[in-house]
């Protein structure tokens, strides 16, 4: 008989994650959050001298920005929208009847002006474009947000609501690709400090459908996306815990985001998957933080 308990079950039993009845939607225990907070302070130690502007958006974004972003062209399968009841008292009565009869009550819900944020940087581009041309030295922003992706899974490293910490850089091609390389180096140094084994590899986004295959191939061929991978739930298919994206001038031209001299800005972003990194730490060093190697504890809590 196979008595092996899954990593997810052990996370539930230890109270690090809390079951909600939905795959990929979890509560977090205090000790899980402590690790994320400590890891973010470690990120700050590497990034704070760069003088990024800190901005925190809520986990929902302006639906008009979302529509213009083109997300539904590339990733319709992942998006989540916020709908609400907008009816009158009569509509309310039929809503309650419908719920009592166990029928689908959601089809009468109306789209609101808000959609769930799919990646921490999505609300940033239109926000910065509205300010006018970038300063001479370009733009650098520090973001963190819960993000939603409709990808239910029993892999604890693939959640539907999870946090992404990002740095986003805007400016010339050379400026933003240098920024991306800097964080590829720093990402490896940070993971070495907390004794996690890493691999860097070229990657692609899961563009939808047959036409998406071409977009994904193009992204790979041009080295537009790299990932820092750490084995968590599988050794043969390690998990992307950071990603390093160069968007060329795609967001710059979409949003009218210009450099100081008026030419279209290039952009790049680096993202830390905070839950995935916490899970990697628990997987490699054990569920009891007090038992973690002294050097790892020192990197996180000194």
Is the four-CA dihedral 11, 228, 124, 71 of positive or negative sign? negative
Residue with Cβ nearer ligand ATP (276 or 283): 276
Residue nearest to ligand ATP (CB): 273
Helical H runs in the chain? 7-13, 30-47, 63-69, 71-74, 89-100, 124-129, 173-193, 209-221, 250-255, 274-285, 294-301
Rounded to an integer, what is the distance from CA 82 to the centroid of its chain? 19
Of the candidates 115, 269, 274, 277, which one interacts with Zn ion according to CB under 5 A?
269
Residue with Cβ nearer ligand ATP (209 or 256): 209
35 binds, among ligand ATP, Zn ion, none (CB under 5 to 8 A by kind): none
> Exposure of 21 by Cβ count < 10 A (0-12 exposed, 13-18 middle, 19+ buried)?
exposed
Stretch of 59-67, 108-116, 199-207, 262-270 contacting Zn ion, by CB under 5 A: 262-270
Quote the CA–CA distance of 2 and 252 in Å, as a whole number. Answer: 54
Quote the CA–CA distance of 221 and 204 in Å, as a whole number. Answer: 10
CB of 120 to ligand ATP, least distance (A): 8
The answer to whether residue 8 forms part of the interface with Zn ion (CB under 5 A) is no
Residue with Cβ nearer Zn ion (242 or 279): 242
CB of 244 to ligand ATP, least distance (A): 9
Residue with Cβ nearer Zn ion (149 or 285): 149
Of the candidates 8, 38, 116, 121, which one interacts with Zn ion according to CB under 5 A?
121
151 binds, among ligand ATP, Zn ion, none (CB under 5 to 8 A by kind): ligand ATP
Quote the CA–CA distance of 222 and 216 in Å, as a whole number. Answer: 10
Structure tokens at 237: 């298919």
Residue with Cβ nearer ligand ATP (140 or 157): 157
Alpha-carbon dihedral angle through residues 56, 59, 65, 68, given to the nearest 10 degrees: 120
Residue with Cβ nearer ligand ATP (134 or 168): 168
142 binds, among Zn ion, ligand ATP, none (CB under 5 to 8 A by kind): none
Half-sphere exposure of 277 (CA within 13 A, CB side): 30
- Residues of this chain that interact with ligand ATP (CB under 6 A) are 119, 149, 151, 158-159, 162, 164, 205, 227, 240-243, 271, 273, 275-276
For Zn ion, the binding residues (CB under 5 A) are 119, 121, 269
């Amino acid at each position: 008989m196979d008595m092996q308990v899954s990593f997810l079950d052990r996370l539930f039993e230890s109270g690090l994650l809390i079951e909600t009845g939905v795959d990929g939607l979890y509560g977090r225990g205090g000790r899980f959050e402590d690790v994320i907070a400590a890891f973010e302070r470690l990120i700050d130690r590497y990034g704070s001298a760069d003088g990024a502007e800190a901005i925190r958006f809520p986990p929902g974004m302006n639906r008009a920005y979302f529509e213009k972003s083109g997300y539904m062209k590339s990733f319709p399968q992942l998006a989540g929208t916020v709908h609400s009841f907008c009816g009158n008292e009569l509509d309310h009565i039929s809503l309650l009847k419908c719920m009592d009869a166990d029928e689908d009550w959601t089809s009468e819900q109306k789209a609101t002006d808000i959609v769930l944020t799919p990646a921490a940087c999505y609300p940033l581009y239109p926000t910065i474009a509205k300010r006018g041309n970038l300063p001479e030295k370009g733009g650098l922003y520090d973001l963190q947000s819960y993000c939603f992706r409709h990808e239910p899974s029993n892999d604890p490293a693939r959640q539907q609501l999870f946090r992404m910490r990002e740095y986003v850089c805007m400016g010339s091609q050379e400026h933003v690709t240098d920024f991306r390389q800097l964080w590829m180096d720093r990402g490896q140094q940070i993971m070495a400090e907390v004794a996690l084994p890493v691999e860097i590899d070229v990657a692609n986004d899961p563009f939808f459908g047959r036409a998406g295959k071409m977009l994904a191939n193009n992204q790979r061929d041009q080295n537009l996306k790299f990932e820092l991978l750490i084995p968590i739930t599988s050794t043969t298919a390690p998990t992307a815990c950071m990603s390093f994206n160069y968007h060329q001038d795609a967001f710059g031209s979409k949003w009218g985001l210009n450099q100081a001299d008026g030419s279209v800005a290039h952009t790049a972003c680096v993202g830390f998957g905070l839950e995935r990194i916490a899970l990697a730490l628990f997987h490699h060093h054990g569920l009891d933080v007090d038992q973690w190697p002294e050097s790892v504890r020192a990197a996180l809590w000194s």
